[in-house]
Structure 1
Amino acid sequence: MAVMWENTYTVAAIVAALLFMMYKSLRSSHKLPPGPRPLPVVGNLTHITPVRFKCFMEWAQTYGSVLSVWMGPTLNVVVSSADAAKEMLKERDHALSSRPLTRAAARFSRNGQDLIWADYGPHYVKVRKVCTLELFTFKRLESLKPVREDEVGAMVAALFKDCADSRPLNLKKYVSAMAFNNITRIVFGKRFVDDKGNIDNQGVEFKEIVSQGMKLGASLKMSEHIPYLRWMFPLQEEEFAKHGARRDNLTKAIMQEHRLQSQKNGPGHHFVDALLSMQKQYDLSETTIIGLLWDMITAGMDTTAISVEWAIAELVRNPDVQVKAQQELDQVVGQDRVVTEADFSQLPYLQAVAKEALRLHPPTPLMLPHKATETVKIGGYDVPKGTVVHCNVYAISRDPTVWEEPLRFRPERFLEEDIDIKGHDYRLLPFGAGRRVCPGAQLGLNMVQLMLARLLHHFSWAPPPGVTPAAIDMTERPGVVTFMAAPLQVLATPRLRAALYKNGSSPS
C-alpha cells in the first residue's frame, strides 16, 4: 500500500511539473490575457466561487474585460464587455464557433451528433439549416400558437384555484409545470400530465431520464478539468449507456407513434413530425433526430420558467412598474377577454419589462462555452488554439459603461432606445449571437412575453405577509442556468372576472 501511494505522489509531482512547464511555455510564446495566478495542477479551480459568472465579473473589475482563468491545465478566456463580445461573436466568430466536449456532453450528444454540442463544420451547418428553415419558421411557430396559449391558460387556471385561500404560492411550481407541458407538446406532440395532474407512464419515464441525466452530468465536475487525473475518477460507462438507451427507447417509441399517425392523417406540425418528414431530404440519421429533439427539450424547459420567475420577482420588488404594465394591459386588452400573442405589438411596455428581466437575469449567464480552433486575438490579447472561451452575458448587461443605472429594474430604457435582443446588439445577449445564436430565440421570447402578459393581466402580485418587497431574496443558485436560490413565494390576487380564468381550449 505504501508503494502504491508513493507511486501516486510521484506521478502527481511529474504531472504538476509538466503542467507548470506548459503554463510557462504558453505565457512566454503568447500575450495571454491577465488573470489570477494559477496553482500547479488545479489552476484557478480552487479560487472560483460557486456562482461562477459573478466570480468572473468581480475578477474582470481587477484584471480587465478579457481575462485568463486556468481550469486545471486548460486555459479559459472570459470576455466581459460588449466590445470584447463583438470581437468574439462576430469578428472572430469563424475561429470560435466550436464546442469543448466534456465526457458527459460527449456521451449525451453521441460525440456531437446533435446541434448544441456539435463542432462547427458540415454537420453543424446542416442541422442549423434544418432548425432555421424548417423548425423555427414563422409558419410553424404560428401553427403551434394554440399549444402555447393553452398551456399558459392551464397555468393561470391552476394559480386561480390555489390562490383562493390567500396563502403564499411557490411560483416556480406553476411556471415550471407550464414550461414542461409546453415543450413536450411542441417537441413530441404529447402532454404527459392530464388536467388533474396525473402523469402517464411515458411522462414518468421522461422525468426519470431528465433527472438521471442531471445527476450523471453533475458527477464529473472536478475531474473533467484535470485530464491527467481522470484515471482516479473513471466514467460511469454503464450508467451513461443505460441512460442513453432509456432516452433512445422512449424517443423511438414516440417517433413510431408519429409515423403511424402520419400514415393515417398526414404529418403533424410538431417538431418530431417535421424532423421525420425531412429525414431523407436532409439525410438525418436517427441519432441526429433524437439529439435534436432532446436539444429542444433541454434548451426550452428551464429557460422560460427561470426568466418569468425572475421577472415576477422584480415586479414584486418594483410595484410601480407592475402597476404601469397592468395599466397598459387594461387599456389595450381591457378586462373582458384574455391577452394573446396578437396583442404584443400594442404592448410596448410589456415587451420592455420582458427585455429588462432578460437583461438583469439572463437564463444562461455564461452562454455555453466556445472553443478556439485557431489562435486569434481578442482585446489585443492572444487566444491560443484549443482555448475555451466564455462570454459573461451577466457582466455585460450590468456594465455601468454601457448601461445607465445598470442594477436598477427600469424597463423604460427600452422605450427610450431601440435595443435588439436577438444577437445584434452586444450589450444584450440573452440568446447569444453569431454562428451559435439560439435558433429558437423568437419562440423563447414569445413564451416569456405571453406568460408575463397573462400573469400580470390576471393577477396582482405581492410578497407574503411580513415580507417587504426589498427583502425578497434575489440570490442566484450556482449552475449553467440561473435559478433563484430561494424559489419565489408570492401572493396572487385575481384582477378579472372568474370566467376568464377557465382554460377552455383543448390540447392539440
Structure 2
Amino acid sequence: MLPIPALWFLLGGFILFILSTALLFQKQSQQKQKQPPPPPGPPGLPVVGHLHMLGELPHRSLETLSEKYGPIMSLRLGQVPTIVISSPEVAELCLKKHDTDFASRPRLEASEYFSYGYKGMIFSEYSPYWRNMRKVCTLQLLSASKVESFAPLRKSELEKAVKTVEKAAEGGEVVNLSEVVHSVMEDVVYKMVLGCNKDDKFDLKGLIHEMLILGGKFNVTDFVPWLGPLDLQGLRRNFKKLSKKLDQVLEKIIKDHEHASSNAHNNNNNQKQINKDFVDILLSQMHQPIDPYDEQNHVIDRTNIKAIVLDMIAAAFDTSATVILWALSELLRHPRVMKKLQEELRNVVGMNKLVEEVDFPKLSYLDMVIKETLRLHPAGTFITRKSTKDTVIHDYYIKKSSEVLVNLWAIGRDPKVWSKNALEFYPERFLNKNVDVRGYDFELIPFGSGRRGCPGIQLGLVTVKLVVSQFVHCFDWELPYGMSPNELDMSEKYGITVPRVKDLLAVPTSRPLEIWAQDGWNK
C-alpha cells in the first residue's frame, strides 16, 4: 500500500492531466470557432460528391452553380475537395496575392504517363525541379528572340496553306478550315520542336492526337483513387500502351539528332546552326546543371527532354489551332467584323503583299478580334491549381491539397464584368478598355497568371494572329450550301482544350492581291 504523500502526488498528477487535457480541447475548440467557414456549395452525394453535377460541359454546369452559390464555391469531386472561382476579384487573390499557396498542380493519372512521372513542366508540382524546368523552357525555347527566329518557318508554312486555299478558290470549292489550320499547326510545330516534317519517318501525328483525346477523358481514378487498381474504364491500360509507343518514337527522334550532330562534328562542320530545333537545344544542355546554385543539382537527361518535347507539342499545337478556328468561326458569323478587319489589313498592310509579323503592332483591330475570341472561347476553360497549405481567401477557409478551378469561361461571359452584351462577339469593347491578356488583368487571363502562367504566350499570340490575319487578308469567305451566319453550329466539346464539335467549312474567294500575279506563286 502506497503512503499517503504518494497517493496525494498521484492524485494531483491525475487532476493536472485532466485539467491540461480540458484546456487543450478548449483551445482547439476556440481555434475551430475562429477558423473561417469553407466556401458555400451544394449538398453532395456519398463517394461521388458532386461529380454527377459536372455534365458533359463542366464549365457551363459550374457557371450555373456559381450563379447560385457565389464567385467562390466548394465542391467535392469524388474524394477531392475542390474550390471553383468565377470572378476576376477572387481569381486575383488566388493567382496574385496568394500565388505561392496555389502554385502547384493536381496529380492526374494521364499526366503521370504522358509526362514521364511529372518530369515535364506543365503538370509538375511546384518545387525546385519545376522552377528549373520552367527556366530552361523560358530562356532556351520560348524567349522573344527564339520565337522571332522561327518567323521564316511560320511564314513559309502558312504560304503553302494559302496556296492550297487559293487553288480551292479558283474552283469554287468548299474548304475544310479545320483540316487546313490543323495541318499548318502540325507542320510548324513539328519542324520547330523536332526539326522534321509531320510525315517524316514517324507516325507522331496520330499518337499525339490519341494522347490529347485520352488525356481529356474523364478518369474516375483521379477523383476516387481507391478505385485505381480496378482500372474500371480501361484507361490505365491505354495510357501504358500509348506512352510506350510515344517513347519509342521520341527515342528514335533523339537518336537521329545525336547521329546528325556526331556526323557534323566528325566532318569538322563548324558552321553555326542558326535555327536549331527544340530537341537540338535540349540535347546541347544534357548532363549540365540547370542551375549552378541548385543544391539538388538537377540536370537534364533523356527523360526530361522527352517530357518537355511532349509538353511543347501538345501545348503549341492544340491550343493555337482551337483559338484560330474559334476566331474564324466568329468572323464568319459576324460579316461586319470581318469587313472591318479586312479594311484595317488593306490600309496597314496593303494589297501588294502578305501579312507579316512586323505588321502586328499597327493592327489594333486584329488585336481586339483576338482578345474577344479569347474572352468567349479560351482554349482551356479552367486554370487548375492545387493549394500547398491551409489558406484563407475572401474570408473563406481553403484547406491544404484542395483543387482550385478558375472558370475562365464563366468570367469571360459575366455581365457584371463585360456589361449586358457579354455574350455578343463585339471586339470594339476593347477600344477604350486597355486589357492585357498576359496575366495582369484578371478579367481576361487565357494564358493564366503568376508563377504558373503559360511561358509560351508570345509564341501563341504570334501564331494565332498570323494565321487569322493571313486568311482574312487573302480571301473573302462565306458559309457553304446557302447557310446564313446565324445557322453556323458553334457547339463545343470538352477536353484538354475546348474545340468546335463540327469541322469549320467555308467557301473562299480570292481578294485582289497583287501577290497572286507574281511568278511562281501558283506553281
1:459–1:492 CA contact under 8 A, matched in 2: yes
1:308–1:452 CA contact under 8 A, matched in 2: yes
2:437–2:444 CA contact under 8 A, matched in 1: yes
1:366–1:480 CA contact under 8 A, matched in 2: no
Match in the other structure for 2:208: 210
**Any unmatched runs of 5+ in structure 2?**
1-31, 291-298
2:94–2:102 CA contact under 8 A, matched in 1: yes
Asked if 1:78 corresponds to 2:84, the answer is: yes
Asked if 1:340 corresponds to 2:356, the answer is: yes
With over 3 angstroms needed to count, the CA separation of the structure-2 counterparts of 1:502 and 1:308, relative to structure 1, is: farther
**What amino acid is aligned across from residue 373 of structure 1 in structure 2?**
T
With over 3 angstroms needed to count, the CA separation of the structure-2 counterparts of 1:501 and 1:384, relative to structure 1, is: farther
Asked if 1:201 corresponds to 2:201, the answer is: yes
Alignment of 1:281-360 (within 5 A): 281-282=289-290, 283-360=299-376
Q: Return the alpha-carbon distance in structure 2 between the equivalents of residues 503 and 132 of structure 1.
A: 41
What is the TM-score with the length of structure 2 in the denominator?
Answer: 0.85
2:109–2:221 CA contact under 8 A, matched in 1: no
With over 3 angstroms needed to count, the CA separation of the structure-2 counterparts of 1:502 and 1:249, relative to structure 1, is: farther
Asked if 1:406 corresponds to 2:422, the answer is: yes
Percent identity among equivalent residues? 34
Q: Return the alpha-carbon distance in structure 1 between the equivalents of residues 122 and 369 of structure 2.
A: 29
Q: Return the offset for 1:240.
A: 3.6
Q: Return the alpha-carbon distance in structure 2 between the equivalents of residues 504 and 440 of structure 1.
A: 35
Match in the other structure for 2:258: 259
Q: Return the offset for 1:414.
A: 2.1
Mean alpha-carbon deviation: is it higher for 109-118 or for 246-255?
246-255
Q: Return the offset for 1:155.
A: 1.6
RMSD: 2.3
Q: Return the offset for 1:471.
A: 1.6
Q: Return the alpha-carbon distance in structure 1 between the equivalents of residues 248 and 227 of structure 2.
A: 34
Q: Return the offset for 1:216.
A: 4.4
Q: Return the alpha-carbon distance in structure 2 between the equivalents of residues 95 and 504 of structure 1.
A: 58
Q: Return the alpha-carbon distance in structure 1 between the equivalents of residues 278 and 201 of structure 2.
A: 21
Q: Return the alpha-carbon distance in structure 2 between the equivalents of residues 82 and 27 of structure 1.
A: 29
Match in the other structure for 2:285: 278
Q: Return the alpha-carbon distance in structure 2 between the equivalents of residues 452 and 497 of structure 1.
A: 17
Q: Return the alpha-carbon distance in structure 2 between the equivalents of residues 412 and 425 of structure 1.
A: 18
Corresponding residue SS for 1:46? helix
Q: Return the offset for 1:238.
A: 5.7
2:185–2:317 CA contact under 8 A, matched in 1: yes
Asked if 1:447 corresponds to 2:463, the answer is: yes
Asked if 1:222 corresponds to 2:238, the answer is: no
Alignment of 1:431-446 (within 5 A): 431-446=447-462
Match in the other structure for 1:68: 74
Corresponding residue SS for 1:336? coil
With over 3 angstroms needed to count, the CA separation of the structure-2 counterparts of 1:133 and 1:456, relative to structure 1, is: same
Match in the other structure for 1:11: none
Match in the other structure for 1:143: 149
With over 3 angstroms needed to count, the CA separation of the structure-2 counterparts of 1:30 and 1:502, relative to structure 1, is: farther
Q: Return the alpha-carbon distance in structure 2 between the equivalents of residues 395 and 273 of structure 1.
A: 41
- The counterpart of 2:168, out of the listed 150, 154, 162, is 162
With over 3 angstroms needed to count, the CA separation of the structure-2 counterparts of 1:123 and 1:503, relative to structure 1, is: farther
Q: Return the offset for 1:215.
A: 5.4
Mean alpha-carbon deviation: is it higher for 490-499 or for 228-237?
228-237
Q: Return the alpha-carbon distance in structure 1 between the equivalents of residues 250 and 154 of structure 2.
A: 22
2:349–2:355 CA contact under 8 A, matched in 1: yes
With over 3 angstroms needed to count, the CA separation of the structure-2 counterparts of 1:501 and 1:419, relative to structure 1, is: farther
Q: What is the count of residue pairs matched by the alignment? A: 471
**What amino acid is aligned across from residue 444 of structure 1 in structure 2?**
G
Q: Return the alpha-carbon distance in structure 2 between the equivalents of residues 501 and 47 of structure 1.
A: 58
Q: Return the alpha-carbon distance in structure 2 between the equivalents of residues 402 and 37 of structure 1.
A: 28
Match in the other structure for 2:412: 397
Corresponding residue SS for 2:74? strand
With over 3 angstroms needed to count, the CA separation of the structure-2 counterparts of 1:400 and 1:239, relative to structure 1, is: closer
Match in the other structure for 2:387: 372
